[in-house]
Chains A and B, each alone.
Chain A
């Protein structure tokens, strides 16, 4: 069984290649079967491996072949399998399978059906390689692979140039982080002589002391990579724009799996981070500020997918907070539950968009509760889990994060308070979405309800979002055990109560209308604040001024090739002189003769002393 894990990324990869080569010629049914079936098969194999692994939880390694051999640098195409890998693989193949199934209905009328599934399968393969890699180089291969697939899928409807723009933005912004990450890998290899993740942990502990400078630099570089991929401050601006892709893509790539790759990376290299306490604080602070910033922004958005995108940024911020305070398993736990409920929410929004003539503005929806019951319940459950209402999956994970954040020395209570504020905002914006879209009067009539291929994944994800909190993660062996201390009971009660308060506020404001905020909102100061939040805290405009426009200006300058102009001048001088000299070579024999004779006369005259 254990030898078979090599097949798990291979099957979607093969299917992707098949679809790319033959996609145009296959009937739609076959394309769907191939695309969904390959991921289903991978999910099945993952399930079998999970059963095998849970019976005997011993991490193992599988080397397929040596990738390249350069001196003592010999990274293998090798997979490492432990509890963390299992969790990630289950999320990728399980949620991935449901989203593929959903896509068959969502993309039914699209012309590029085969291309879509080819990309999506390739993404699953690359993501599996990312989480299964036993060395950072192979991980980087998967990392870039998912980046490419993200680019291709964001720009899937490339006929609209705005989508291409969004795709390029996603690719370039993450590339900034990737470059830093590559530097981190170089540093680790030159200092420790290996990129194997397990060996790195051992070597780092032998070579470095806690608080040394080198692990700090390496960890910050890796953090930059994670920040780019996971859309954290300051590299988060690509994610809201990435919503230009098809909605199931947003669910799979930009909510459930790829954007959590940064969380996985930090969790995977946690032994390095334990050597660099400052880097961990940086992780926590990045996570917290991102989560608050994105939550405020989500409050003011009108586009259903952008709300969810900012919510994703905010929730990944929570995961970073968890990692930063050393709550590794809580972070990974939140990664998993978030994959469930955010995929659910995105697929729900996809169903709405699909049935509502591609309407994105939530204020043009409304009253969908009775017309799209499956979607309504999906959204209720998803939002409840997102808001971390008690007994949903999100509650368990977020509660753990907040409690562990509270126990950090010195800054713990502040982190906790920030997290609470984020949780309050999360509850408000998620139920604002529910109340605005599903209650009130209908503004747009849906032209159909969801078919079974949409309803089934939604229902299954509903179950996962509700009960996913009871899954025990098999990561006890992977991470150091958290301290057994428990904060005072009131801390826990407050953590539970805050989301409920948020839901009540959302109810009062957006449903019953008893709490009137219009007067407050219409004040000029609040208006400008709202605009500020809506624009994502002005960061897009700032980056536009700071980087994009200077870059364009520079490009426009270099388009004329100013350096070449110097060489061009030399060429021009030579050509002019040549032109002059060439004038003399007229090809007229008699003219040559005349000039020769005159020259002769002059020479003779000089020789005879005439001058």
Chain B
């Protein structure tokens, strides 16, 4: 751990930026693949925050939660890709705005 002494606040800043990038992607992107990727970025940004916090306080909890997030992300991708396939089949496009049957 010596020699690589990056302050926690920097890491948290990176993590927040990543989170904001992911969220912006989520809100701006219309392609569903990119939406999934943005989600992935957001998950990883939180994971980074956990790992950094765990390293800072010398606790294993951060890494455990990181493992948990990894598995959640894997599950999410599995379900999400299935949905992507279905949406592609039904709407013949990957544009999220076309999948708006549930209105009103």
Contact = CB atoms under 8 A, between A and B. Distances in A.
Interface of A: 582-583, 585-590, 593-594, 597
Interface residues of B, number: 12
Query: What 5 A-B pairs are tightest by C-beta distance, nearest first?
Result: A587-B100, A587-B103, A582-B104, A587-B102, A586-B103
Contacts of B101: 587
Contacts of B27: 590, 593-594, 597
A589 B103 contact: no
Nearest to A598: B27
A582 B102 CA distance: 11
Contacts of B30: 590
B103 A585 contact: yes
A590 B103 CA distance: 13
12 contacts: A585-B102, A585-B104, A587-B100, A587-B102, A588-B103, A589-B100, A590-B26, A590-B30, A590-B97, A593-B26, A593-B27, A594-B27
Interface string B77-104: 0000000000000000000110111111
B78 to A, nearest CB: 20
A590 B28 CA distance: 8
Interface of B: 23, 26-27, 30, 96-97, 99-104
B23 A597 contact: yes
Contacts of A585: 102-104
A588 B102 CA distance: 8
Contacts of B99: 587, 589
Contacts of A583: 104
Nearest to A586: B103
A210 B97 CA distance: 93
Given A589-B97, A594-B27, 11 more contacts: A585-B103, A587-B99, A587-B100, A587-B102, A587-B103, A587-B104, A588-B96, A588-B97, A589-B99, A593-B27, A597-B27
A593 B22 CA distance: 12
Nearest to B103: A587
Contacts of B26: 590, 593
A597 B100 CA distance: 20
B84 to A, nearest CB: 13
Nearest to B97: A588
Most buried by B among A582, A589, A594, A597: A589
Contacts of B100: 586-589
A235 B39 CA distance: 88
Contacts of A594: 27
A597 B99 CA distance: 20
A108 B101 CA distance: 71
B102 to A, nearest CB: 5
Contacts of A588: 96-97, 100, 103
A473 B81 CA distance: 106
Contacts of B103: 585-588
A594 B22 CA distance: 13
A594 B102 CA distance: 17
A586 B30 CA distance: 16
A582 B97 CA distance: 18
Nearest to A589: B96
Nearest to B26: A593
Contacts of B23: 597
A587 B101 CA distance: 6
A588 B98 CA distance: 8
Nearest to A579: B104
A593 B23 CA distance: 9
B88 to A, nearest CB: 15
